[in-house]
């Protein structure tokens, strides 16, 4: 998997977002990790990077072409569902993180 690069303002245009969304080799994401909820609400960091090879595939196709990935994703989905109601933020290693993410890490 590739690196993600943080984009600086000005952000992408709508056409850029559409082009990235339609490209199976690229991904566009945002992340609340390492910043306060206020900072995230005011100016969320946006990253562009290489997409995983299974981007855009149907679940059955992922299971047949990438069985280890499907097993890992199934496990991750189960862990995420286990902590579905956890809300808020928590301090971890001196930074604020979504509480759900830290609870998942512990579990």
Structure confidence by residue, pLDDT tens digits, 79-95: 889 999 999 988 888 88
User: Bigger pLDDT: 3 or 52?
Assistant: 52
pLDDT score, position 70:
96
Q: Considering its fold, how many domains does the chain have in total? A: 2
pLDDT mean over 18-44: 84
Same domain, 84 and 48: no
Residue 34 has pLDDT above 80, yes or no: no
pLDDT score of 10 = 62
Residues 61 and 27 placed together within one structural domain of the fold: no
Phi-psi region of 94 (alpha: psi -120 to 50; beta: other; left: phi over 0): left
- Look at residues 33, 53, 73 and tell me which one is the last residue of a structural domain: 53
Question: What is the pLDDT confidence band of residue 1, given thresholds at 50, 70 and 90?
Answer: low
The predicted-structure confidence for 38-77, as pLDDT tens digits, reads as follows: 888 888 888 888 998 998 899 999 999 999 999 999 998 9
Alpha helices in 1-107 (DSSP H): 14-21, 37-42, 59-65, 67-82, 99-106
Which residue range(s) make up the domain with 6? 1-53
Statement: residue 104 has pLDDT above 70: yes
Both 44 and 66 in one domain: the answer is no
Q: Who contacts 100 (Cβ-Cβ below 8 Å, separation ≥6)?
A: 83, 86, 87
């Amino acid at each position: 998997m590739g690196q993600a690069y943080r984009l600086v303002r000005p952000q992408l245009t709508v056409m850029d977002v559409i082009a990235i969304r339609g490209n199976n080799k690229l991904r566009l994401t945002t992340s609340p990790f390492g910043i306060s909820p206020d900072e995230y609400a005011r100016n969320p960091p946006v990253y562009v990077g290489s997409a995983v090879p299974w981007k855009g595939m149907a679940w059955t196709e992922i299971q047949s072409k990438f069985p280890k990935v499907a097993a890992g994703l199934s496990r991750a989905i189960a862990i995420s569902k286990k902590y579905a109601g956890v809300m808020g933020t928590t301090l971890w290693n001196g930074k604020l993180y979504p509480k759900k993410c830290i609870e998942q890490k512990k579990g």
